[in-house]
Structure 1
Amino acid sequence: MSKDEILRAARRSTQTKIVPLRHALDERLIPQDEVLDILFLHLNESRIPKSFATSMHPTIAAVQCLAAFANMDLEGDVGRIIDGWPGILKWSAYFFTETGNRRKVALQAVGICWISIMKHQAIVDAMGRSPTSIELATRMWLEEAIEPYNSAGRAPLSTHILMKFLQNSDGETVDRMLGTVGADCNKVAKFAVAKLQTSFGDTPTDPDGVVVHITFLTLLSGAGRAPLLNALLGANVNWVVTKALVEVSVLVNSQESVDAMVAMTYCFGYLHTSLEATDGFTWVSQSVGAGLLQAFCNCSPHFSKLEARDLKMVLEVVGNVVSRFLIYRSVIETVEVEMEKIDSGSLQAKRVGASVAKPVWDAFRALAHERAVLVRLFSTANTQVCDNVQCQKRANRKEFRRCSACLVTFYCSKECQKASWKEGDHKALCILQQRQRMEGKPMDISKRDIAFLQQLVVLESRRHLRYLRERARRDFPDTPYSGLVVCIDYSVLPTALSLKRLEGYEYDCPLDSENFRARNAVVIERARDYPDICTLIETTLERKRGVLALGPSVFSSGNSDAFWEVNLPGKDDRNPQGRAGELGRMYNEIKPYLDADVTFSPIGEMFGRLVYI
């Protein structure tokens, strides 16, 4: 057929004359603008049948016209596409509501058309401004109405389409998407996470599908809607992304394909941000338990192929993010289990040891080992301290009596309990503890994690006693040691150490409940009442969380070396220095894992030295 014959047939016929038209375009027999004239003629909304029972010819022509947009170069026809978009949208909605056998084929053509014209942001913006476009895209996504465009991949076109709308969009787009499902964030989150799982697991891992779904999850997570982010976290998104990374880590070694490398980078990129969301220690433990460290080791031989920015991000997942959470006992214990698996097998340890990740891994491994030793040391002591600040006797917990009201404080005798209630501050603390329990609000940080933190910060303070004294003499020459607060910031690496004045000191964590603020006020007051016995230690955690700890006086010993003597002669267990002696004995046991030089660097260059601010 000649050019004119093809055009006349496609223009006037109600039969299927669109396929020859597209072939003629591919062979450059007909200009694209003339082809678009024919396509938009058949896609005019006036041609939409009133019912599905009417003639099939207009619908067949419309389906073929929609599919004809595949791989079309629209660079010079953006305006025409925008003008013709209303007809495309109306036909798309028509086919979505159809219930017959033609629906599947028709919606496949809809997906091909939409994704083909969405290559230009101006067209995407115009599509998004249409009143029903986002809503229709969301419904097609939830229904999985459009199958993968490329048979080699398993990411549905409907995911690609909705992803295009979310990219470079404002909050209104997300609100419209959520409005389609009745603002049910959990429904959206669970479906998005489940779709990622279809890209790996029971079937061969599809790296392209992983990239598409990770990108979509990234857009949802960064949409600025806290309920949506919380729903994703509740759907165990970090666990599933880590599992995807574990599968991809096998591909990068077995196939060494570019697609697998891209999927690896996207997985690490998502975790780099998401692991620190809300109460990060939960997600870090979850991800490590899902195999994050093993995947890191398996992928490490290929890190050298990454661009500098991507390499920095990937290394930070373990070297910065996970490392900063090695102050929580729950994280430390999970990491220790996974590290034992890696150390027991030669392949993963060998891979990371020969890669560009070796310095980061060695530093992380040393820090994790040190903290694991401390967990065991602090746990095996099984001792309790009398809560009467004037006593502080230490003995086996079985020898102590527990307050029957709050259940969290212990006393060595009935007399100490009475003294603490009448003369101390336990009455106020006890009431606050009971109120918190009645409100049913769980603590952001578990009691086990807080207990370990309180022991860790005391030990950390004494390890850096020499610097603290130098800093005190330099910045607070007129303030006695007993009038200072030790501040340790674990939210950064290297950890930051500084001092503040106890006089006029105020502490306000925006994430703390009213009860926690009241408890902190009592703790601060205790430090002021007993400055020669107690030192207040302010600990900053991730996302401005914080913990206030009271330890035995950090500055009470004559010098830092004397403090660390295994036996402190003349010290009675009822004296706070007896408690210091026990920490000293603990320290002596872990000396093989700590560098007790003048810098008090525990593990060397990367994580050892604290930053003195």
Structure 2
Amino acid sequence: MLKKKAIPFLTQTFVKLANVNTIHEDTKNIDFVDKLLRVFEYVLQPDGGVPYLLQALRNGFLQGVVNCGPLLSLLRPDAVNALKHIIDHFLISYLSYYSVLLAIIDALKDVDRKCLEQNVDQSALKPSWMKFEQYVLERSVCKALFERCIQSDTSVSSCAQCGKRDVKNNFQKCGGCRIMHYCSKDCQTTHWKEGGHRAICKRILETGGGWDRRDRRFSEFITVYDISRHAADLHQMALKKYGVQPVPLGKTLPYGSSVDYGTVPPTFDVIKLEDDVGENETSYLNSKKDDWDEGVKTRGSGGFLAKFILPRGASDLGQMFLADTGLIGMHLWQRNSDDLTLAFGPRFRWTGIDSDGKSLGAVSDEIDGVLNKLPLAKVRMGDHFLWSSYMGRMSVLEAISELADIEKKIYGI
């Protein structure tokens, strides 16, 4: 385990030494920068990536990365490769955490614009940085839509076992992870023994925490959107893998879909309960599916089984849940892509890959709708987005906020 305040100290030292004007004052300076870049991911791993990554971001890590642009010729090739990997893979993969996304947005606001243009745009780091900015842009739209739905309201709790809601903060938290809420001791016991929380709780504690209730809800939010827009290809994968029989409307699909956010782009797969969880969890989730299908009569729309896998430093964290399709009279994969393109514009953002690295097809959705309406000429300066207002010009975040308000009124997100 790293000593307390080690990450802030290492980050601040990195930012100070990664300076083209002073790097040559001591030969140890370039050695420090070189070594830190090569071991950065490993430095974050011992207790799970999130807490340490947040500390690094809050102590100027992104500015330090930008400062490295003119230093590439001084660094070893493996350090340069590590730097590119940090920008276009490591940081992107952690955007699936709400807390990390917020920290990265705040860090981008503090990055010196002239320094970015001089150091990154004139270096081999530019393609990696542009890819990183694009992913942050897309996740910023997810963030804006998430913050406008009931799911983001942490004052409203749901019992992890029975789904009962609480707006008066009367539910009790799990004493271990401090994330799951329960309306009664019976529900907590059932979820612990049969619902899989015993394993999840242990993994959260083993990887050092750093995953709060809003992180979990945001991860569920983006997972639903990402699985939904890849639903047609995922269904074809299920037909090929499991030979799935026709599913009546109103019934939960006999397979689940998973998204691994530890890869860039994310990796999608189809799963069967009995292959992915233990016997108790299978029985538990099957009973939840039956309850969900019963609820179709009053809710109107069916459900699907979803799983997200998040990077956690030296490990990862997976969670399975039931989600609402929001559709009446059709399955997710039956939506007409032309109709969705007409409603939201052409698909703007990334598409996922399968386990073999093959790109999947995807349809447009509300997130693409916001991205397609962004006044890019107004919210960019040169090749980069304005993450904070500049000389009277609105930031890209302000533009996203306005468009998200409109999207909520139209589609009731």
- The bucket for the TM-score relative to the shorter chain is 0.5 to 0.7
Q: Distance in 1 between matches of 2:116 and 2:105?
A: 15
The answer for the alignment partner of 1:527 in structure 2 is 289
TM-score normalised per structure 1: 0.44
- What is the aligned counterpart of 1:296 among 44, 65, 81? 65
Q: Distance in 2 between matches of 1:563 and 1:429?
A: 41
The 3-state SS of whatever aligns with 2:270 is strand
Deviation at 1:518, TM superposition (A): 7.7
Amino acid at match of 2:120: V
Q: Where is the helix percentage greater, Structure 1 or Structure 2? A: 1
Amino acid at match of 1:526: K
- What is the aligned counterpart of 1:238 among 1, 4, 7? 7
The 3-state SS of whatever aligns with 1:545 is strand
Preserved CA contact (<8 Å) 1:275 1:283: yes
Q: Distance in 1 between matches of 2:325 and 2:185?
A: 20
- What is the aligned counterpart of 2:76 among 282, 307, 310? 307
- What is the aligned counterpart of 2:147 among 358, 365, 379? 379
The answer for the alignment partner of 1:556 in structure 2 is 331
Preserved CA contact (<8 Å) 2:37 2:79: no
In structure 1, runs of 5+ residues without a counterpart are 1-229, 409-420, 509-516, 568-582, 594-613
Q: Are 1:495 and 2:266 matched, yes or no?
A: yes
The 3-state SS of whatever aligns with 1:478 is coil
- CA deviation map 1:430-454 (0-9, x unaligned): 8758x99xx9x79662111001001
The 3-state SS of whatever aligns with 1:404 is coil
Q: How does 1:537-576 map to 2 (within 5 A)?
A: 537-542=306-311, 543-553=315-325, 556-557=331-332, 558-559=334-335, 561=337, 562=339
- What is the aligned counterpart of 2:227 among 444, 451, 461? 461
The answer for the alignment partner of 1:486 in structure 2 is 257
Change in Cα spacing, 1:357 to 1:498, as seen in structure 2 (3 Å) is same
The 3-state SS of whatever aligns with 1:590 is helix
Q: Distance in 1 between matches of 2:76 and 2:7?
A: 24
Amino acid at match of 1:273: Y
In structure 2, runs of 5+ residues without a counterpart are 175-182, 248-252, 297-301, 345-363, 375-413
- What is the aligned counterpart of 1:357 among 125, 134, 145? 125
- Tell me how large the CA RMSD over aligned residues is: 4.0
Deviation at 1:256, TM superposition (A): 4.0
The answer for the alignment partner of 1:201 in structure 2 is none
Q: Distance in 2 between matches of 1:524 and 1:355?
A: 54
Preserved CA contact (<8 Å) 1:537 1:548: yes
Q: Distance in 2 between matches of 1:334 and 1:448?
A: 14
- What is the aligned counterpart of 1:428 among 169, 176, 187? 187
Deviation at 1:300, TM superposition (A): 1.3
Preserved CA contact (<8 Å) 1:406 1:430: no
Preserved CA contact (<8 Å) 1:238 1:271: no
Q: Distance in 1 between matches of 2:118 and 2:71?
A: 14
Deviation at 1:592, TM superposition (A): 5.0
Amino acid at match of 1:544: D
- CA deviation map 1:446-496 (0-9, x unaligned): 111001001010011112123213322332333446111101112223321
- CA deviation map 1:299-346 (0-9, x unaligned): 11221443332221222222222221111011000000111222x632
Preserved CA contact (<8 Å) 2:17 2:23: no
- CA deviation map 1:47-70 (0-9, x unaligned): xxxxxxxxxxxxxxxxxxxxxxxx
Q: Distance in 2 between matches of 1:324 and 1:300?
A: 22
Preserved CA contact (<8 Å) 1:284 1:325: no
The 3-state SS of whatever aligns with 2:123 is coil
Q: Distance in 2 between matches of 1:520 and 1:540?
A: 18
The 3-state SS of whatever aligns with 2:147 is helix
Q: Distance in 1 between matches of 2:371 and 2:94?
A: 21
The answer for the alignment partner of 2:102 in structure 1 is 333
Deviation at 1:238, TM superposition (A): 1.8
Preserved CA contact (<8 Å) 1:242 1:292: yes
Q: Are 1:270 and 2:39 matched, yes or no?
A: yes
Higher RCO by CA contacts (8 Å cutoff, separation 6 or greater): 2
- Give 1 or 2 for the bigger CA radius of gyration: 1
TM-score normalised per structure 2: 0.64
Q: Distance in 1 between matches of 2:52 and 2:209?
A: 16
Deviation at 1:402, TM superposition (A): 5.3
Amino acid at match of 2:43: S
The answer for the alignment partner of 2:402 in structure 1 is none
Deviation at 1:530, TM superposition (A): 3.4
Change in Cα spacing, 1:401 to 1:477, as seen in structure 2 (3 Å) is same
The 3-state SS of whatever aligns with 2:68 is helix
The 3-state SS of whatever aligns with 1:360 is helix
